[in-house]
Amino acid sequence: MENYLVGSILKENRIRLKISQEELCFDLCAVSTLSRIESGAQVPGRKLVEALFSRMGMNPPASSIPMSKTDFKRENLEYKINDMIATGKVEIADLLEEYKNCGSELSPLENQFYLFYKALSEDTLHHDGKTALEKYEEALRISIKDYELGKLPNVRFLTRTELLILNNISRTLYFIEKKNEAIELMEFLRTYFENGIVSEEEKAKNYPVILLNLENWYGNANEDEKVIVLCEKGIDVCIQYGKLTSFPYQIFNRGCSLVKLGKVEEGKKCLSQAFIIIEAMKEFDNLNYGKNWVRENLHIQI
């Protein structure tokens, strides 16, 4: 009965969103596999169900997914790993090894999770961009098999994990001085978050960060008109979703670009507002860095 429920819910939402079976399961599973899941004839794996619903911008109906003891263990470990990363704790090697060895062999999508978070942890700790890029791409090709550097993904719908991997590939490309490729990929992500099927939760969490990355990169290239457009959008998004973390930095970037474009008083007002909020958030290292950067690069005092 549970298999039938998850399959029928999946099919109902796929049809409602006007997504074909081929588009939804692209590189995740065969169309015949999806057909059997939708009809209730095949027991779906936990990560496959998550991925299929994620590509529709949805969380799966948890009570309708058949789960083994290993599934429960790995799901709980995923929550722990995500929570640690969200709070800036990247020493997750022990949790990842527990994830890998807690039961049966990893499924392809479990292996994607494992490879991505291992690469993310090692990248943050060691800052080896080229090695990190190879590992991110290895993880991505599990579910987007034709991905190549400099070639945008040929897929209409993306999972949360695929979006996270693409974001980290873009950031790593910029770090290793492949800036044009980095910006092109980040612009792809921006367009996807604006026009694709993304849950409100994921949009609130990741869209402001994508805009902030592009603002910083265009600012470094002195493309300040683009920065201001992105900042105005970023400020609106932060207000819409209550994202205080990114909010002052959107204002800061707007202020810097206004000053660089000769609108000094308007820019100084933005910078002052940004510094007040950053100070209120007790992010004193960022506050001092920002003030020093403004003094040294814009030659103004706030």
Distance CA(156)–CA(55), nearest Å, equals 9
pTM above 0.75, yes or no: yes
- Reference 139, options 117, 159, 158, 171; nearest CA is 117
Question: What 3-state DSSP class applies to 285?
Answer: helix
Three-class secondary structure of residue 301 per DSSP: coil
Contacts for 47 with CB less than 8 Å, ≥ 6 apart:
107, 109, 110, 113
Side chain identity at 214, as an amino acid letter? Answer: L
What pLDDT is recorded for position 4? 58
With contact defined as beta carbons under 8 Å apart, do 276 and 260 qualify? no
Percent of the chain exceeding pLDDT 90 equals 82
Kindly list the distances between the CA atom of residue 138 and the CA atoms of 54, 135, 173, in Å, as whole numbers in the listed order: 20, 5, 15
Dihedral-angle region of residue 66 (phi above 0 means left; psi in -120 to 50 means alpha; beta otherwise): beta
Q: What is the pLDDT of residues 243-297, one digit of tens each?
A: 889 999 999 999 999 999 999 999 999 999 999 999 999 999 999 999 999 999 9
Q: Is residue 220 classed as helix, strand or coil in its secondary structure?
A: helix
Asked if 213 contacts 188 with a C-beta cutoff of 8 angstroms, the reply is no
CA atoms within 13 A on the CB side of 282: 0
pLDDT at residue 150 greater than cutoff 80 = no
Residue 1 confidence class, pLDDT cut points 50, 70, 90: very low
pLDDT at 3 over 70: no
Residue 160 sits at the vertex; the CA angle it makes with 159 and 163, to the nearest 5 degrees, is 85
